Structure 1
Amino acid sequence: TSPTPVPSNKVEIFDIVKHLAHPEPGVELPRSPILCKPNIDAMLHALKLADINPQTTIFFDDSVRNIQAGKQIGMHTVLVGTSERIKGADHALESLHNMKEAFPELWVEAVKDEDVRNSSKVGIETSVIA
C-alpha cells in the first residue's frame, strides 16, 4: 500500500522506526532531507509551524552554531553552559538553573512593561528518532 496523499499545507511525519521494523513493498523513504538546527530553513519552518515570531523569542541552546543561527533569524539568544558570551549570543549562562537570577523580569508578574507581550504560544524542544 502507498501512503495517503497529504495536502500541501499539511506536514507529513514519516515513521522511520515503523518502516524499518515492518517494511512494506513499494514504500520508499521520503525524498526530502531531514533538516535540524542549525539549518536556518529548518528553524524558520519550526517557528512557522508553531506560529511563533522569532523577534519575540528567547532561544536557549548550548551549541555555538545553533546560537549563531538563531541570531541570524532574529531571535534573542542565550548560550547555555558557559559564562563567556560569544558572537551571536545576547547572553551566556553557566546553567539553566541560573535563569531566574539572570532574567528576573521573566519571573516577576507584578512588574509588566507595556512593550512586553505574553503569548500563549510556547516553543517546546522534543526529541526526534530518525
Structure 2
Amino acid sequence: MSEVLDNLLYSEEHEWAQQGEGRVVRIGITDHAQHLLGDIVFVEFPEVGAAISAGDSVGSIESVKTVSELYSPVSGTVTKINDTLEASPELINDQPYSGGWIFELEISGEFAEAASGLLDAAAYRELIGE
C-alpha cells in the first residue's frame, strides 16, 4: 500500500506539489510512482530559470526497469533543484515526500489558483485504487 500524505496535492501523472514559503512550490513524485518505477538510478532535472507550464515534461526519472517522464503539476519558474539526488537518486525511493523532492518553482499567483487542477489526497487514493 502506498503512502499518500493529506497535506499535499497530486497530479494524475503521480507528481505531488507542496506549498512552501511565499510563492514557492516543491515538486516530487509520489510513493506510488516510485514503487512502480523500482530502484531509481538517475534523475534528469528541469533547468533552473526555466519557465514551465502545468503538464509540461520537465525531465525524466530513470530506474533499473524503465525511464519515466517527469511532468510539472503547476506552472511557474524553476528556482531550485534537489542536487543531492545527483549523487543519491535512491532518496526518491527511500523518502519520496521529504529528502527525495525533485525541484522547486515560483508561481506567479496564489497556490490555490495554480493548483486548481490537482487532486487532494482522497481523490489521489481513489485514482490509485487505495
TM over 0.5: no
Superposition TM-score, scaled by structure 2 size: 0.26
More strand by share: 2
Q: Which has the higher contact order (CA 8 A, sep 6+)?
A: 2
Superposition TM-score, scaled by structure 1 size: 0.26
More helix by share: 1
